[in-house]
């Protein structure tokens, strides 16, 4: 999508509620991971979101921490605590109704789901990326090691940076993925960062998805 046209095409975005319904089984981000003895880090129990599995994850706040931003496409994601600094490309849905992954050949590349919410807008924006590729670890290999309170920064094409604070990190099985809890609108400006995780087999790939839950806490 041409970046000089984003303001004129944003009204054609598919309603988020409809998109969430086709992603209840999770994201097929990596089908051919690298088989290692240890594998990528997995979330600690202490990082889980304190919410029922079927509920929309939303840690209650007395007030909105920061005014949400207007729509603008995302260009880059940074997670300083795990040394992530990667360009974002637009991704869509594949023919099966799952969010597409960015090309696996580029290990340092992530994707923003462009038909959903822009990072910093009120609602739940989604960023995805590979945990590994056939050459080794990829952009979100360390995602499962993140802790509550860490920051995720998303640079946008309107020259603003949306700063998110992590309030949960969990791994969910792909065959029992809690779509409403992950993608649902909490009433705040939120971000989900998602990669593959859980167990791995050469025949079936990864059997789960690591999901980072974060909320907008600042802009610059």
pLDDT digits (tens, 9 = 90+) for 94-135: 887 778 999 999 999 999 999 999 999 999 999 999 999 999
131: left (phi over 0), alpha (psi -120 to 50) or beta: alpha
Domain 13-58+82-219 fold is Sortase; Chain: A; (2.40.260)
pTM of this prediction exceeds 0.85: no
Given a cut of 80, whether residue 3 has pLDDT beyond it is no
- 148 within 8 A of 160, measured Cβ to Cβ: no
Average pLDDT over residues 8-12: 37
Kindly report which listed range (15-29, 94-108, 135-149, 153-167) carries the lowest average pLDDT score: 15-29
Alpha-carbon 30 to chain mean position: 14
Given a cut of 70, whether residue 85 has pLDDT beyond it is yes
Q: Give the burial class of 80: count Cβ atoms within 10 A of its Cβ; 0-12 exposed, 13-18 middle, 19 or more buried.
A: exposed
Confidence of residue 17 (pLDDT cuts 50, 70, 90): very low
Residue 129, strand partner residues:
110
Q: Express each pLDDT in 187-220 by its tens digit.
A: 999 999 999 999 998 888 999 999 999 999 999 9
Q: What is the domain partition of the chain in residue ranges? A: 13-58+82-219
Pair of tokens at residue 198: 């859980």
Average pLDDT over residues 25-33: 38
């Amino acid at each position: 999508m041409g970046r000089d046209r984003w303001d004129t095409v944003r009204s054609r975005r598919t309603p988020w509620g409809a998109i969430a319904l086709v992603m209840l089984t999770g994201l097929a981000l990596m089908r051919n991971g690298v088989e290692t003895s240890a594998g990528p880090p997995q979330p600690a129990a202490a990082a889980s979101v304190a919410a029922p599995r079927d509920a929309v994850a939303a840690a209650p706040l007395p007030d909105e921490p920061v005014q949400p931003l207007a729509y603008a496409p995302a260009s880059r994601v940074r997670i300083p605590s795990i040394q992530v600094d990667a360009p974002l490309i637009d991704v869509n849905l594949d023919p099966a109704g799952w969010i597409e992954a960015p090309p696996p050949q580029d290990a340092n590349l992530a994707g923003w789901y462009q038909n959903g919410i822009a990072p910093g807008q009120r609602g739940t924006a989604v960023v995805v990326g590979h945990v590994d590729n056939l050459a080794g670890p990829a952009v979100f290999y360390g995602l499962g090691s993140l802790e509550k309170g860490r920051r995720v920064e998303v640079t946008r094409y309107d020259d603003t940076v949306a700063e998110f604070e992590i309030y949960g990190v969990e791994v969910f099985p792909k065959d029992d993925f809690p779509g409403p809890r992950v993608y649902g609108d909490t009433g705040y400006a939120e971000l989900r960062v998602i990669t593959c995780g859980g167990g791995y087999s050469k025949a079936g790939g990864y059997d789960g998805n690591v999901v980072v839950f974060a909320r907008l806490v600042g802009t610059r």
